[in-house]
Structure 1
């Protein structure tokens, strides 16, 4: 299995041509915004684009600046450029990457949020003289900043140093302070087309069949990161198991359900638990969306899925399925938050699906 490359090591970026063009136009116009907010669903290439922009700027705007007497027409720089190696090795002195830190010295567990100590490195960068004229900060992801960290970043945005560029990756920009959003220029990235996801999946996972590539692309919904994670975690097989259980409705196969919940709910099955709960909530949301569109435009991940949804939607009103989706998400979140019994939580969720048409 091919290891998934970190965005700082990825030089090629497929898609998002308009976002790249928008940044280049700003660069060549000489009216560069000092802060950029890269938005869109998780896993579609926002961090990859942020690192691509950082390398471009730190290299002086392409291969040493203006090419052949004219402005650069691409953000790409040569793989042999020193900046590429410095960024990949996390050793470029004019680039600071702000991410969630670790809770312990052994670096075994990451914090759940970006704290003010993680943000202080920005001040260290801006108090030093830049090697290449520009200093770049990359925050991945800005949504994860707590209030103190966000306020510290806001102070920098209010009085940015000269030739300072702040790139903020954001999966959910609505979670950011409005005053931060208002001080950034937004680059909105859209989900990738299915054919592009299949192409990139095949490049990273040549062991997958065409049918598996298509199914994972549908599960990923335009996010290569999500599709790759599901492939690595056995998400497609777990999804097939999930749909197989639901296909027995209106009466669940209780022994099969108990076996599934026992396997996924084990204390040492964290990955399977996370994958199944996320897929369950996602499938219920998909069911609600299908009901709102009367099933139009929904691509099946596994055969028979559309017929199953149609049967369930005919058995209960859309608002009741919407309520169940919200309650299921809350149940799984509460199970994680206070360490409830995972098996029992899964049983409760699936049995609620069975009971809904009869309630």
Structure 2
């Protein structure tokens, strides 16, 4: 689950409640300059990988605008604010955190009671009222804001409904669209928004944020999670929540032993993901295996050694890259990816799928 979708878990707050934001100074400055110059755009498109802070920035912008630019006001009517930060004890902050601000509407995937999970897309039913909401006079005499989290999850009818609002934007109304994959959006939606690209965070920033949200983690574990997350604090926190670092350490140990497979250890490892309630754990470990093999392929193709997240994985990659040509590793990577996708989609035996993946890798090294 992405950072934009997380519920409070005692460590990391929901974006609507998060008053801490780092790593995207230029994006924040662009919004602030638009506000201070009295040229605030009616639609913003926040783009970037999952978990880098897009939703946190969206709520940060919303709080700032709905509070009238903070305590200082803006432009011709007061000293120009120097940042978008609003104190957590500000009434606007508290109402947005509680989901009770009358001038903010959030569009996101809804929970399917029958299937007991979030819907796969945002439907038109969720956006029917957006146009009417934005055209009304603000309840508190300022702006009306809609956050769409995430816009690349809109189905076609929902996207067309959003486009209609963007084509005829009401005065003092703003739409903030979050997009993990902006290429999926209608070109006409993209063209009507001012785009802000948020890149990945620096390793030291992820390590620092892990220290803030997970103070019980030691520095070595924070550093390793940072390496696995590749600049996404959301991914780092998700991995921490499901025990991803432990999975990764054990998985690499099994890979490093190949082709002399420790069959008993493989069975014990795969058994952990077999129960029906281990969906998240299975998705995590298969994602980590896919990621590790992708790094192996890049290493085999370029000769550039990847960052060693845990001790021993680089020698394992070196041995594997030496015994078979690049095309063989690409082929086995594709087969394992297809196997894991089919296992998740068709509810096949997870333990057997993981064992088959280890067997394919072992056979590739032996042949």
TM-score by length of 1: 0.94
What is the SS of the residue equivalent to 2:145? strand
- Deviation, 1:108, is 4.1
Identify the residue that residue 250 of structure 2 maps to in structure 1.
Answer: 241
Q: Is the 8 A contact 1:58 1:132 kept in 2?
A: no
Q: Is the 8 A contact 2:72 2:81 kept in 1?
A: no
Q: Is the 8 A contact 2:36 2:74 kept in 1?
A: no
- Deviation, 1:64, is 5.7
Identify the residue that residue 71 of structure 1 maps to in structure 2.
Answer: 80
Question: Greater shift after overlay, 217-226 or 142-151?
Answer: 142-151
Matched, 1:226 2:235: yes
> Which sections of structure 1, spanning at least 5 residues, go unmatched?
none
Map residues 318-333 of structure 1 onto 2, 5 A cutoff.
318-333=326-341
RMSD: 1.9
Identify the residue that residue 250 of structure 1 maps to in structure 2.
Answer: 259
Q: Is the 8 A contact 2:135 2:170 kept in 1?
A: no
- Deviation, 1:184, is 1.4
CA distance in 1, matches of 2:318, 2:43: 47
Identify the residue that residue 308 of structure 2 maps to in structure 1.
Answer: 300
Q: Is the 8 A contact 1:59 1:132 kept in 2?
A: no
What is the SS of the residue equivalent to 1:264? coil
> Which sections of structure 2, spanning at least 5 residues, go unmatched?
1-8
Matched, 1:279 2:288: yes
Matched, 1:167 2:176: yes
Q: Is the 8 A contact 1:53 1:75 kept in 2?
A: yes
CA distance in 2, matches of 1:150, 1:325: 35
Matched, 1:48 2:56: yes
| 2:47 maps to which of 23, 39, 60 | 39
Map residues 14-33 of structure 1 onto 2, 5 A cutoff.
14-33=22-41
| 1:118 maps to which of 116, 119, 126 | 126
- Deviation, 1:165, is 1.0
What is the SS of the residue equivalent to 2:221? helix
| 1:13 maps to which of 16, 21, 29 | 21
After superposition, the C-alpha distances for 1:146-189 in whole angstroms (9 at most, x for unaligned) are: 11111111111111111211111111111222221122111111
Matched, 1:268 2:268: no
After superposition, the C-alpha distances for 1:271-323 in whole angstroms (9 at most, x for unaligned) are: 22121111111111222222333134x22111011111111111222233233
* TM superposition outliers: structure 1 runs of 4+ over 3 Å: none
The number of aligned residues is 357
Identify the residue that residue 220 of structure 2 maps to in structure 1.
Answer: 211
CA distance in 1, matches of 2:257, 2:136: 64
Identify the residue that residue 344 of structure 1 maps to in structure 2.
Answer: 352
CA distance in 1, matches of 2:31, 2:240: 33
- Deviation, 1:324, is 2.8
What is the SS of the residue equivalent to 1:30? coil
- Deviation, 1:135, is 0.9
Question: Greater shift after overlay, 319-328 or 247-256?
Answer: 319-328
Identify the residue that residue 322 of structure 2 maps to in structure 1.
Answer: 314
What is the SS of the residue equivalent to 2:128? helix
What is the SS of the residue equivalent to 1:78? coil
After superposition, the C-alpha distances for 1:8-37 in whole angstroms (9 at most, x for unaligned) are: 101121110011011111222233221111
- Deviation, 1:73, is 1.5
Q: Is the 8 A contact 2:122 2:158 kept in 1?
A: yes
CA distance in 2, matches of 1:321, 1:279: 16
CA distance in 2, matches of 1:219, 1:15: 18
